[in-house]
Amino acid sequence: MSRSFETNEGGEFQSPALERLVRSLSRLPGLGRKSATRIALHLIAEEAAAEDLLSAASEAGEKVTNCSNCGAITEPDPCRICSSDRRDPSQLCIVASPVDILPFEKAGFFQGRYFVLGRLLSPLDGVRAGDLPFERLAERIRTDGVKEVIIALDSSVEGETTALYMQQMLEGGSVSMTRLATGIPVGGALAYTDEVTLQRAFMGRRTF
Ligand SMILES: [Zn+2]
């Protein structure tokens, strides 16, 4: 084994370049130091793979953006869901993050459109209503003729607080507000809910 793979007492690589690569990889979600090291060594051994990864990341960073209408991750803007005339604009599904759209689209039962909040209300952490795009949401509800707002936020305290705020926001208007039935684990991220559970929760959705 080459000297550059030697580590100091703290387990850091003697090679500063290798150590830097491992550190930046281990900051990626889901990667611990062990997997980061495996990937780093692979990238060093396979130069073509490293170049491909770099150019793919840089191209995606340039071209992939958030839909200016709904907030989904997309390459054309507006996204395909917002610009499709086969999607029903009267049903608007509210999610916290763009990844929360994925299980819905994968399951394929929902024919409405989405609105991504980007974050959830959390007064204790200083995240207040003014930090969320509620004004844009209200405008979207008006211009799209939304009849049903479906809350698909996870059942954390923040999710509940946000849902409650929206209920007050829509109170007295002609828009009905529903939420997914139980079946989504408490505090569980929506993005990891399986399709069957999600569809069941959607079909059993109830009014506030
Ligand atoms: Zn969109």
In what helix (H) or strand (E) does residue 57 lie, and over which residues does it extend? Answer: helix 47-63
Confidence of residue 200 (pLDDT cuts 50, 70, 90): confident
User: Ligand 1 centroid vs 166 CA: distance in angstroms?
Assistant: 20
pLDDT score at 208: 76
Mean pLDDT of the chain, nearest integer: 90
User: Over the stretch 21-55, which tens digit does the pLDDT of each residue have?
Assistant: 999 999 998 999 999 999 999 999 999 999 999 99
Domains of the chain: 3-63 (1.10.8.420), 66-207 (3.40.1360.10)
**pTM across the whole model:** 0.79
User: Ligand 1 centroid vs 101 CA: distance in angstroms?
Assistant: 11
CA proximity to 70, closest of 123, 119, 114: 114
Residues in the chain: 208
CA-CA distance, 114 to 135, in Å (whole number)?
15
User: Ligand 1 centroid vs 34 CA: distance in angstroms?
Assistant: 38
Whether 135 and 76 have beta carbons less than 8 Å apart is answered as no
**DSSP per position, 67-90:** -TTT--EESSSS-HHHH-TTS-TT
User: Ligand 1 centroid vs 163 CA: distance in angstroms?
Assistant: 21
User: Ligand 1 centroid vs 80 CA: distance in angstroms?
Assistant: 7
User: Ligand 1 centroid vs 67 CA: distance in angstroms?
Assistant: 5
pLDDT score at 183: 52
